[in-house]
Chains A and B, each alone.
Chain A
Amino acid sequence: MANTETHSTLTNAPNANAIIDIRDLRKVYQLGKTSVEALRGVNFEVSEGEFTVVLGPSGSGKTTLLNIIGCLDRATSGTYRLDGEDVSQRDFNELAEVRNYKIGFIFQNFNLIPVLNVLENIEFPCLVRKEQQNRAELRERVRALCAEVGLERFMKHRPDELSGGQRQRVAIARALITQPRLVLADEPTANLDSKTSDQILELMQRLNRQHDTTFLFATHDPRVMDLARRTVRIKDGLVQPD
């Protein structure tokens, strides 16, 4: 049975242990003259090392919430503290830096850079950083991660030479290479067969335990829900009490 727990009752003081600490988050989209409120005052916390699933039907605000958590988008109002830092008012380039240093992404469509091979795809987030990287040390880390996700024989392959499962492993390795505080996975198993999905989920769970990295999933896959230690339901732009 799923290992779930209810989200804690929030106080006004920021939670020091929370990786994600969201208070009264609102997001309004302006569609012509009409305003659409996608998030209507979301309060939500995720502690370090959690393996959490966000559930919600289409149009519930789940994607908007994940985009804001992933620093891909900004809220209209409210505060969002990531790893203790308020990132709600950061500008585009500052958010890019937050994404690069603190967040790893795993997408449904893998989203690898087609002109780079496995090794280059994995090291890419480190290489776009301002500071000079020790390439030898980085390559060593990439190789270790490749071994961990079972890609050591495919390091020179381009994405189009890999299966769906292998591509998702590359995406996972890329998400972890920066040693992020949070990994966001948006439907990571949606494009995989059940056997490969199981392997990928098992891998993510193992990495969650080994690296103590916080994982936040958006999924409809019941297998993911079974593995999650916590489930957060979102409906009509609000987090539902368990």
Chain B
Amino acid sequence: MAGVYAGFVSSPIGKKLATQLGLPRPVRLRRYAADAPLVDGPVLVAGLGSAPIAARVRDLLKAQDVDVVGEVAQGTKLGAVVVDLTEAATPADLEVLRSTVAPTLRSLRPSARVVVVGRDPRDADGFAQSAVRRSLEGITRSIGKELRAGATANLVLVRDGADGGVDSTVRFLLSGRSAYVDGQVIRVGEGTPAEPADWAEPLAGKVAVVTGAARGIGASIAEVLARDGATVVCVDVPSAGEALARTANKVGGTALQLDVTAADAGRRILEHAQSRHGGLDIVVHNAGITRDKLLANMDDSRWASVLSVNLESILRMNETLLGDNGIRDGGHVVLVSSIAGIAGNRGQTNYAASKAGVIGLVDAMSTDERLRKRGITVNAVAPGFIETEMTAKVPFATREVGRLLNSLSQGGLPIDVAETIAYFGQDASAAVNGNVVRVCGQSLLGA
């Protein structure tokens, strides 16, 4: 979505001026379309040593009829670069990354992808290996900042023995679904991923519930989950029922009017999902409110209501939704954090408390033995500046700055957040657990 600045630098005069002054020029990002190829252009796949993930990715891409190359030919423009550094053991090994990626950076198409694959530093054997594994994060984030024209760079860290779980993440990062995901680290660990019958409908046959589905990001989540094949239970407060009905009818789901803070909210959601749709596979805790005030002026009701809706309701509903008769084994829980929960935000102590709390919840739930045994994954998205009705009300200057303070020089769209959530919701992402992925275009805030 174009802001005033983006509009100006797209005009003939603005374009010239921006180029001369070296100002950022946001481009229209490549986003998912059913009929579009997974990647736009050939993909260079390379790696260090036996590079097991690179081999996997080559097979995956070839099965999709994507052109896979080993080096940049003169005059070709690449759609993506995938570098497997899983066998990196010493700082000297990083030279492979430099020598592979450096020559490609001037040969990338708009909205190209750089995907670096490594091992988790937590599994490292010795000081040097740990250090070099962590180096990959610094390199990837720096590449993200160097890239232009909608291109992104992300790092995938694969735990030992978890190579088989990497496919959905590689697909996500290469595709238009990850348009506004930049400079992120995604960890792939244990879990048994199930490949969907049709990658165009990775959620076919699944039942999802989305809270706060009446408008904005929530409505977009419902739409993307339904597009990917899920039946969606759309939940919002009774007073938002008119917009909620629109969402539910648009996605062919059902509308459930309830306040997530009600004591019986979890039970009612579960009953609805089970009686109407035969079960529950995906829970997206998206409902959230803001009641901004500087802490100096913050009253107890603003404080309590934000914590109640954004955090306490999730804890309470999960007792039922994740109980023995709740979500099916192998199900997926997705929470919505915020960049404010990572970086903090002036006037948002209450909101940041709730959104940082969500991250703490992901940490605890994703390592919970009972949930792990049941194969239930728990992840979160942390949106940055997303163009919604809410951000449209932000004062002009603040809004323009918010749009520009990231590597893609633009705000994200609700669908960008929704795409990441849908990726977490796939059974193919069973090995993706405990991640907090920022959908922020590599925002400078809290980076």
Please determine whether chains A and B interact with each other in the same assembly: no
Chain B contact residues, CB within 8 Å of chain A: none
Chain A contact residues, CB within 8 Å of chain B: none
